[in-house]
Amino acid sequence: MSAKTLVDDSRDTARTKLFISKATPGDDAFTLWLAPRLEAAGYEVFADILALDTGDSWREKLTATLQNEAVKMLLCCSTQTLSRTGVMQEIGIAADLQRRLPDPNFILPMRLRDYQPVFGIADTQHIDFENSWAVGLDKLLKSLARQEVPRLREPAIQPEWAAYHRRRSIRLRDEPETMTSNWLRILSVPDQLNYVVPSGAANNTALKESESKFDYPLVPHAEGYLSFASPLDFESQFLGVGAFKVQDSISYEHFVEKGAPRLDIGPRDAAATMVNLLRQAWEKHCKREGFFAHQFSNGEAQIVQDGKAGVGQRIPWGKQGQRRNSMLRNIARGKLWEFGVSARANLFPFPHYRLKSRVLFSDLDSDQQPTLIEEHRVQHRLRRSIAGAWRNKAWHGRLMAFVEVLAGESPYIALPLGSGVHVQIDAMPIQATSPVSARQTNQLGEDGEELDMTTLGGHFEEEDA
C-alpha cells in the first residue's frame, strides 16, 4: 500500500482508491480524461490502463484491488460497457462489498451514454456525464466530498497518465505530406455590384414580402437593394412593385476595399455586405439543388436528405486513381443521421468559403420513416455519442462527398447571383504541403472508414473542464 498520509487518519487506510470499472478500449478516452482530474482533487485512482505491469494476471489484480483497496467503484455506464462480461463480474464483486462493508453508496454509476439498468445497479442513481463531462465531474467531486471519501494531504497526479498519452500519440515522419483544408477558393465574382431602387413610389409591404422570396442574394440599403441582380430580375419577381432601375454601380474590388462613399457605406460595412451576399448565394443555391436547410444555434446548414443520397449509400469522391467512398446518411443506434455543411464566406486572406461539418438526427418509426428531433440537447448528445467517435478521416471523407454531390461532374460550383451572373468556386478544397507527415495508425483502405464500426459509435472525444 502507498505510504501517503490521508486527510482523515482515523479512517481504514486499506481502502483509499477510487476503482474505475470500464470497458477497454471503449472507455479509455474518458478514463484518461477523468483520472488525473480526480487525482488533482486529492483522490487515489486505480484504472487498468496504468495499473497492470508485464506478467501481471490482469483479472487477479483487478479483483484484488477492488476487494481489498477500493473505497468506491466508479462505474462507466453505457449499453456497450455494461454488456462486457468483465464489467458485470466487477459489478457482482462490488455489490457484495456494498453489503459487507457496509456502504450503500459503494457503487457510483457514471452515465456516459444510454444504458439499461442491470442487476446490482438497477435502483442506483447515476451521475450524468453524457451531456457534459465537466458538469459530471463537478457533481462527482461534490458526491465524494459529501460521502467523506479520504483524500491525500498533498494531491499527486501519476506521471504515467501523460506517458500513456505520449505512447498513443501519432509519430511524425521527416517527409512532406499534402494536407486538404475545408476552404473552397472563390475563383471569380462579377465585376459590378448594383444599387437597385424602385423607379417610382413602391408599396413597402409588397417589397418586404418579395425580399425573402427573391431567387438571388440582396441586402436592403436605404430605399433600394445592393445586389448583383439586374432591374429585370427584380421586376420579374417583385410583383406589384413596378419598375426598377440601377441608381449606382460599384466595382467589386473598389467596394470590398474602400466601400461606396456615394452610398454612405464605409469599408467595414462594405465587407460585411459582400460576405452576406456570398453567404446568401451559397444557401439559395443549395436550397435550389434540393438540400434541406436547418437552422443551428450559430448558423444555417444545408443537410443531405432523401433524393440527394440514400441511407447507407457510399458516395465516391477524390481524384482518379485515389477514389474513396463516404456515407452522407445512415442509421446508428436506431437514429437516422444525415450529414450537412454550413458555409461561411471570407474575404481574407483571399476570397473563399469555409465549410463546417454538421450532423442532424431523426427518430425512426416502425416503417423507418424519419421525424426530426427538435430538442437541441438531444441533438447535442447524439452528436457527442455517435458522431463524436468518427475519426478525422471519416469527417474529411463526408465533407468531400458533400462537395462531390453539390458540384456533380463539374470541377467548379457556380452560385447564381442574378440572371447569367455567378460566383464561381473551385470544387476542390485548398491544399497545402506540410514538411513532415503523420504516421497513419489505421490503414483502413478505400472503404475502410465505412466498414469500421467505430465510425458509427464508440468513445467520446476529450472535453476540457
- Whether residue 62 has pLDDT greater than 50: yes
User: Does residue 32 have a pLDDT over 60?
Assistant: yes
Q: Give the DSSP per-residue string, 268-284.
A: HHHHHHHHHHHHHHHHH
How far CA 465 is from CA of 16, 18, 168, 189, in Å, comes to 25, 20, 22, 44
pLDDT band at 53 (very low <50, low <70, confident <90, very high): low
Q: Decide if pLDDT at 48 tops 90.
A: no
pLDDT at residue 173 in the model: 80
- Choose the weakest-confidence range: 253-262, 296-305, 308-317, 450-459: 450-459
Q: How far apart are CA 404 and CA 393, in angstroms?
A: 16
Chain position carrying cell 423607379: 199
Q: What is the pLDDT of residue 58?
A: 67
Q: Give percent of the chain with pLDDT exceeding 70.
A: 88
Which range among 30-34, 207-211, 274-278 has the greatest average pLDDT? 274-278
pLDDT at position 202: 80
Higher per-residue pLDDT: 10 or 47: 47
pLDDT tens per residue, range 325-362? 999 999 998 999 999 999 999 999 999 999 999 999 99
Task: Tell me the average pLDDT across 282-305.
Answer: 95
Q: What is the pLDDT of residues 383-392, one digit of tens each?
A: 988 887 787 8
Distances (CA, A) of 444 to 279, 313, 436: 36, 18, 21
- For the chain, give the percent of residues with pLDDT over 90: 64
Structure-model confidence comparison of residues 412 and 159, the more confident one: 412
Cβ atoms of 339 and 303 within 8 Å: the answer is yes
C-beta separation of 332 from 342 below 8 A: no
| CB contact at 8 A, 336 and 365 | no
As a whole number, mean pLDDT of residues 400-420 equals 96
Point out the least confidently predicted range of 239-243, 261-265, 303-307, 359-363: 239-243
Confidence of residue 450 (pLDDT cuts 50, 70, 90): low
- Whether the pLDDT of residue 10 is over 60: the answer is no
Q: Residue 56's pLDDT is what? A: 53
Mean pLDDT of 206-233: 95
Residue 439: band (very low, low, confident or very high) from pLDDT cuts 50, 70, 90: low
Report residue 385 as a C-alpha cell. 455519442
CA distance 13 to 150: 8
Mean per-residue pLDDT of the chain: 87
Q: Residue 212 above 50 pLDDT? A: yes
Question: Predicted confidence band at 12 (pLDDT cuts at 50, 70, 90)?
Answer: very low
Q: Give me the pLDDT at residue 378, please.
A: 92
- The pLDDT value recorded for residue 454 is 37
Contact 253, 266 (CB under 8 A): no
pLDDT higher than 50, residue 417: yes
pLDDT at 458: 34
| CB-CB contact of 46 with 58 (8 Å) | no
Paired strand residues for 324? 317
**What domains are defined for the chain?**
17-168 (3.40.50.10140), 178-187+283-456 (no CATH), 188-274 (no CATH)
* pLDDT one-digit tens code per residue, 143-154: 999 999 999 989
Backbone Cα Rg of the chain: 29
The confidence band for 4, taking pLDDT boundaries of 50, 70 and 90, is: very low
pLDDT single digits (tens) 93-121: 999 999 999 899 999 999 998 898 888 89
pLDDT at 460: 31
pTM of the full structure: 0.66
Task: Enter the C-alpha cell of residue 123.
Answer: 435502483
Residue 51: which pLDDT band, with cuts at 50, 70 and 90? low
pLDDT-derived band at 168 (thresholds 50, 70, 90) equals low
C-alpha cell at 125: 442513481
User: 243 Cβ partners below 8 Å, 6+ apart?
Assistant: 198, 199, 200, 231, 235
